[in-house]
Amino acid sequence: MNVRVVHRVDEMQSLGEQTRLSGEGIGLVPTMGFFHEGHLELMRIARNLADTVVVSLFVNPTQFGENEDLAAYPRDLERDLAGAEAAGVDLLFVPSVEEMYPEGFQTAVHVDRLTRGLCGPFRPGHFDGVATVVAKLFHIVKPHVAVFGQKDYQQLAVISRMVQDLNMDVRIVGAPTMREPDGLAMSSRNLYLSPEERKAALCLSESLNLAQELVDAGERDADTIRSAVETHIQRAPFTRIDYVTLCHPDTLEEVKTIEQEALLALAVFVGRARLIDNRIIDGAEKGTKA
């Protein structure tokens, strides 16, 4: 096994500092573990961008709500180690909850307007938890570059904003969503799906494609497109919609009309699995289509 596993915060920070001083570039992929192909792709991207690739594995309790799936969140360190090794990872940072949030902990990083829509109202405190733990990880690991998946689009936007606003000297790279052959976005939470729910869950990616088709056919009204998406999802069994939102890709503010690009983002319960997916909808006028 060539992947070094570090549990202690001070050891990781010391290694990060030493690595920086040696002139090597550090790439960080923050994860909650239970790696799927999406995680491994982030690691491979980091591998191409940095000399030393660090993957943090921490199921962060502060980003889970009271009624969410913290306890059930899947964990398998042995399997993750093998996956990280295959992806060329140098170091797996696996801190304990006690060391990350010792008694007396009371600091939070809050990003404001970007967290008001989409998952924000449905997961109060979630993005404070995300921003805060990522700030901690950046200070501990000291990466030059960090890679996040675009499936968690709002998370990526929030982290990018935090980095910019707080002048963190870290380059943030977003990586395209990895999908199963039938289109389902890869997620550790897909594990919660029964075979029937797994089939029903296809409605998420299908509805994203449906929206692009509507726009390609000339539709520009956000309400009309959103209704079509909602109807498609509601037709599938086991589904319950949290939100379907068409918004500006940078500000995440809702749009009424599709001009140029818009983000279509959705969160849907399929059974007990809360799944999210998104797609940039291209509203630019096109010539002849292939």
Q: Is 232 a catalytic residue?
A: no
CA 136 to chain centre: 17
Answer yes or no whether residue 132 interacts with a second copy by CB under 8 A.
Answer: yes
Specify the 3-state DSSP secondary structure of 240. Answer: strand
Answer yes or no whether residue 98 interacts with a second copy by CB under 8 A.
Answer: no
Measured from the CB of residue 92, what is the shortest distance to a second copy in angstroms? 18
Answer yes or no whether residue 246 interacts with a second copy by CB under 8 A.
Answer: no
Rounded CA separation 248/250 (Å): 6
Answer yes or no whether residue 113 interacts with a second copy by CB under 8 A.
Answer: yes
Answer yes or no whether residue 179 interacts with a second copy by CB under 8 A.
Answer: no
The correct pick among 2, 106, 217, 289 for binding a second copy (CB under 8 A) is 106
Answer yes or no whether residue 131 interacts with a second copy by CB under 8 A.
Answer: yes
Answer yes or no whether residue 168 interacts with a second copy by CB under 8 A.
Answer: yes
Rounded CA separation 110/116 (Å): 11
Residue among 132 and 187 whose Cβ is closer to a second copy: 132
Answer yes or no whether residue 103 interacts with a second copy by CB under 8 A.
Answer: no
| Identified catalytic residue from 39, 126, 144, 232 | 39
Residues β-bridged to residue 266: 244, 277
Residue among 126 and 136 whose Cβ is closer to a second copy: 136
Element (H, E) at 241: strand 239-247
Rounded CA separation 163/172 (Å): 8
Question: Which of 56, 60, 58 lies closest to 91, judged by CA?
Answer: 56
CA dihedral 152, 192, 120, 167 (to 10 degrees): -40
* Structural contact between residues 89 and 63, judged by C-beta atoms closer than 8 angstroms: no
* Structural contact between residues 152 and 134, judged by C-beta atoms closer than 8 angstroms: no
The correct pick among 4, 7, 11, 17 for binding a second copy (CB under 8 A) is 17
Answer yes or no whether residue 7 interacts with a second copy by CB under 8 A.
Answer: no
Binding piece for a second copy, criterion CB under 8 A, among 18-26, 31-39, 51-59, 80-88: 18-26
Answer yes or no whether residue 114 interacts with a second copy by CB under 8 A.
Answer: yes
Answer yes or no whether residue 110 interacts with a second copy by CB under 8 A.
Answer: yes
The correct pick among 43, 140, 265, 275 for binding a second copy (CB under 8 A) is 140
Residue with the two structure tokens 């509601």: 234
The phi and psi torsions of 173 (rounded to 5 degrees) equal -115, 130
Number of Cβ atoms within 10 Å of the Cβ of 154: 26
Annotated catalytic sites, by residue?
39
Interface residue list for a second copy (CB under 8 A): 9, 13, 17, 20-21, 23, 104-114, 131-132, 135-136, 139-140, 142, 161-162, 165-169
